[in-house]
Amino acid sequence: MTARDTPQLRRAALSLLGSAARQREFAGSLSHGEWESVAILAGLHRLWPHLHGRIERGELVVEVPPHIVAHWRKAHREQALVALAQRNELFRLTEWLRERGMESVALKGSWLAWYAYPHAAERPLRDIDLLLPAGMAIAAWDALVADGFTPDEPRETDEAQARLAKHLPPLEGPAGASVELHLRAWELAERMDWAMPPDRTERMIASAQPADPSDPCRYPSREAMLAHLVIHAVYSHRLDAGPLLLPDILFCAAKEIDWPALLEWAREDGWEEALALVLSLVDRWCSSGMVGESGVSHVPPERVLEDAELLLVQDPRARKSAGIAMAVGEAWDDGGLAEVLRRLGERAAKLSPAKIAKRSYETARDFTSGPASEDARRALAIGRWLEGRE
């Protein structure tokens, strides 16, 4: 089954995470076919369990077709079992690494699911993400492979090169859980096609603390967690990682946040605009009041907010194509055709001929049959705004 993908339907899907007023505005009069498309978009972005929770708490004020409600209920029930299995694996891995002298920090969803969201099922995890110092992460990856974990692909054998990555290739454990060992919280600037905030992995690790006496894991402080969510969404992914960002921020910020300390960090490292963008999106859709509470001063213009909200709900199956087009645009801005060719050559050098052919076909397909080119334009415009070029 495929979904129609229009700005109106993207906003309808996004509104289901938002205030009653937003729901009525964008999803209050959807046709049967439009509800089908919205439900598919929501499923692609792993929203179904959370939307079931919102229905149960009376937070959805629009009438959702009964068969869609039933799908969301089933997804919540199934995700509850997955969440328990992932948490058991997280605890086991944390203790297994600790026994070998390796202390890890569990990132993002591992804490959000169990300590921020109303129910763990409402925050699906793609992977169990564990952050370790670079040398320790490489040793841990090798040890897990030796212990029976299956790598998605071989890791970089040159350790100096391996240390430059954000994370090592994903591992699948004997129980089926996917695990990513991170060497740093976000990418180094030299590994990206655009500017990145300074690497603050040591700060993330130093901030880590336990969440509960029965939980063996350590998690970043609330401020470090919020910083990571913002930088991951805006810089690492240019807002293509999905609309769960809104409830992630909303539930994370519902805990005690030292806003002056977070704002000082954002200003010192040059990502206050990204923080303002994310908080403005949450305010715009969820009426949270976080922009005023945080004290950010760089409120984004309307055109940036409109682009950003649509990027959140883009079809994740086409985001690689949009990302390639955006990277080409960034390269053109930085150095014209010569820089475009240089960066494309660097990308191609890392891929096999089969992968190059597959990616070329997918990009051509996405640009001829979908809105990927418009998403690339939106992401490029946001990048230019972040860097003060527009």
10-residue mean pLDDT profile of the chain (390 residues): values are 80 98 97 96 97 98 97 98 96 96 96 97 96 92 95 86 89 92 93 90 95 96 97 95 97 93 97 97 93 92 97 82 55 59 59 55 53 88 86
Tokens of 304: 């940036």
Rounded to two decimals, the pTM is 0.88
pLDDT given at position 5: 84
CA distance 119 to 76: 10
Distance between CA 179 and CA 132 in Å, rounded?
Answer: 13
In sequence order, the β-bridge partners of residue 128 are 179
* Residue 264 identity: E
Q: Around Cβ 104, how many Cβ atoms within 10 Å?
A: 26
Residues in the chain: 390
Q: What is residue 86's predicted lDDT score, i.e. its pLDDT?
A: 96
pLDDT of residue 156: 84
Q: Give the model's pLDDT for residue 135.
A: 83
